[in-house]
Structure 1
Amino acid sequence: MSAPLILLPGDEVPSDHLPSNNSNPLKLGPGLRLLSQPSSKPDATSHVLTATQAGLVTTDAKRNTVSILSFPNRRYIPTVNDLVIAQIHHSSIDYFHCMVTPHTAHALLGQLSFEGATKKTRPMLKQGELVYARVLSVGVGAGAEVELTCVNPATGKSEPGGLGPLVGGMVFEVSTGMAARLIRASSSSAEQGDVIDGLAVLSELGKKLESLGGFEIAVGRNGKVWVDCSNAGDSAIKATIAIGRCLQTTDDKRLNPVDQKKLVTRILREMKLA
């Protein structure tokens, strides 16, 4: 097994740190890009993987993927295919102009970039409303506009992850590193109670709140987590706040799985939910 490797932007990923699953094509996760360079053979090129952000090289042999695990408090930089939670700032004839991160240019979301949307049925989103979207393109060069979409370009469906407007619920801020871990944990097919990427908090909350109807969660790589507990009836607000507190405390204090489970138990008792 290769030793852990930390790369800086522009560093090349050594071949011995790539997964060796030849049955599936290699997939690139966040923080990497494929570059072509001249080969020693005439009229030929070779390909190298380079880092676009600083972080730890991580691989998934089963899915044959390689990515960069960024440092927890890294500033979010939009990357194609990232899932983000964006807030509508204003709209124009063809686009919604969305805030993805503070103090940066607005991202563009086409008014027809929703499942089944037409000029008559498109969502009429107002300032302050939230959407769960995927980064479609980031452009090239300084000042390039980021474009978002709420559909899978290949299928026209709001997949994966239930893309589209987020109605109700509450949004909590976490670090970008925590957001990446939550996405991996929430998208994993592991059994309930398993620890994914050092996180037990989601599965523990799901187990403890199952009797209240569970909860919905959407995680953006830009460090935003949307939580909805509308099925919990009169306890919906308390359950939503409890989940947000658990996620933020786990992030701030970098709790291990055992302490995460203790935290969930304590907070649910404080909120009189257990």
Structure 2
Amino acid sequence: MSTPLILLPGDEVPKDQLPHSKSNNPLKVGPGLRLLSQPSAKPTSSNHVLTATQAGILTTDAKRNNVSILSFSNRRYIPAMNDLVIAQVHHSSVDFFHCIVTPHTAHALLGQLSPQLKQGDLVYARVLSVGVGAGAEVEITCVHPATGKAEPGGMGPLNGGMMFDISTGMATRLLRASSSSADENEGVDGLVVLSELGKKLESIGGFELAVGRNGKVWVDCSNAGENEVKATIAIGQCLQGTDEHNLNPTDQKKLVTRTLKAMKL
């Protein structure tokens, strides 16, 4: 088993570590990396120049031809283009909703062409632009800029449910797990808590999940009837417990069983 490659901000990604896809699909650059240059003539994965923008472990997927940084668990989020985030509306102006993405950064701007929202509403959105320099405005969107229609993947208002805080590292792991197929998601990044919760809660209606790279996860169990609140809290506790204690797969399953039993689910 090869030793994981840990990068610090500013480190260049070694070319021999980039995925070598046999397809003609372009290299997909994920969170934590910045593309510095790309040759114009038939670019391949091996001749890209990438640098890290955050500390973490380099992860590659040759099948999907993508590369990203799996960040260490922390609470500070730095917005990056195309990141999925959960934002909360703070107030509105003529052209924008002003939304809280993180408590330590300026409000992000969400265009008024998006669904009508009010103060306190949660919205699942994608980072559209981050600007340049300190204090630059961050713009988010939940509609496709070309069509004006809702983005796929549940973009838009998050009605009902509850929101829980997690680390940015856990958010990245959850997004990777939730984007994998049913056959793949067992054990993605050592994370089995989602699949275990899905199996055990299927009989009461299952649940919906939205994960923001800004360290937020929204859980909705509206199909669980009288068990809605208990199931929602149980899922949040399992996700936070797995995150805070860095549980291995076996302990994640034990935590799910113990938590659901305590909630009488």
Scaled by the length of structure 1, the TM-score of the pair is 0.89
The residue aligned with 1:29 is 30
Inter-partner Cα distance in structure 2 for 1:37 and 1:166: 38
Equivalent AA in structure 1 for residue 204 of structure 2:
L
Inter-partner Cα distance in structure 1 for 2:13 and 2:184: 34
Equivalent AA in structure 2 for residue 21 of structure 1:
S
Equivalent AA in structure 1 for residue 80 of structure 2:
T
1:269 to 1:260, Cα distance in 2 relative to 1, 3 A: same
Q: Does 1:69 align with 2:70?
A: yes
Structure 1 residue 9: deviation in Å?
Answer: 1.0
Inter-partner Cα distance in structure 1 for 2:145 and 2:15: 31
Equivalent AA in structure 2 for residue 136 of structure 1:
L
Q: Does 1:20 align with 2:20?
A: yes
Inter-partner Cα distance in structure 1 for 2:2 and 2:186: 25
Matches within 5 A, 1:117-136: 122-123=115-116, 125-136=117-128
Structure 1 residue 155: deviation in Å?
Answer: 5.0
Equivalent AA in structure 2 for residue 254 of structure 1:
N
* DSSP-derived class of the 1:143 partner: coil
Aligned residues of 2:177 and 2:185 also touching (Cα < 8 A)? no
The residue aligned with 1:7 is 7
Structure 1 residue 159: deviation in Å?
Answer: 3.1
1:252 to 1:30, Cα distance in 2 relative to 1, 3 A: same
Q: Does 1:264 align with 2:256?
A: yes
The residue aligned with 2:195 is 203
Structure 1 residue 151: deviation in Å?
Answer: 1.9
Inter-partner Cα distance in structure 2 for 1:83 and 1:64: 20
Equivalent AA in structure 2 for residue 59 of structure 1:
T
Aligned match of 2:224 in 232, 244, 251? 232
Larger of the two Rg values belongs to structure: 1
Inter-partner Cα distance in structure 2 for 1:239 and 1:131: 22
Q: Does 1:137 align with 2:165?
A: no
The residue aligned with 2:151 is 159
Matches within 5 A, 1:50-69: 50-69=51-70
Aligned residues of 2:75 and 2:166 also touching (Cα < 8 A)? no
Structure 1 residue 56: deviation in Å?
Answer: 0.9
Inter-partner Cα distance in structure 1 for 2:38 and 2:216: 37
The residue aligned with 2:42 is none
Residue-by-residue CA offset, 1:149-189 (whole Å, 9 max, x unaligned): 00233554433320000000000000000000001101111
1:14 to 1:253, Cα distance in 2 relative to 1, 3 A: same
Aligned residues of 1:132 and 1:166 also touching (Cα < 8 A)? yes
Inter-partner Cα distance in structure 1 for 2:37 and 2:177: 33
The residue aligned with 1:84 is 85
Aligned residues of 2:75 and 2:215 also touching (Cα < 8 A)? no
Residue-by-residue CA offset, 1:75-112 (whole Å, 9 max, x unaligned): 10000000000000000011000000002100000011
Inter-partner Cα distance in structure 1 for 2:161 and 2:227: 13
Scaled by the length of structure 2, the TM-score of the pair is 0.92
Equivalent AA in structure 2 for residue 12 of structure 1:
E
Structure 1 residue 220: deviation in Å?
Answer: 0.3
1:207 to 1:20, Cα distance in 2 relative to 1, 3 A: same
Structure 1 residue 8: deviation in Å?
Answer: 1.1
Equivalent AA in structure 2 for residue 252 of structure 1:
E
The residue aligned with 2:234 is 242
1:58 to 1:154, Cα distance in 2 relative to 1, 3 A: farther
Structure 2 unaligned runs (5+)? 40-46
Equivalent AA in structure 1 for residue 61 of structure 2:
D
Inter-partner Cα distance in structure 2 for 1:142 and 1:62: 37
Inter-partner Cα distance in structure 1 for 2:191 and 2:48: 35
Inter-partner Cα distance in structure 2 for 1:262 and 1:10: 40
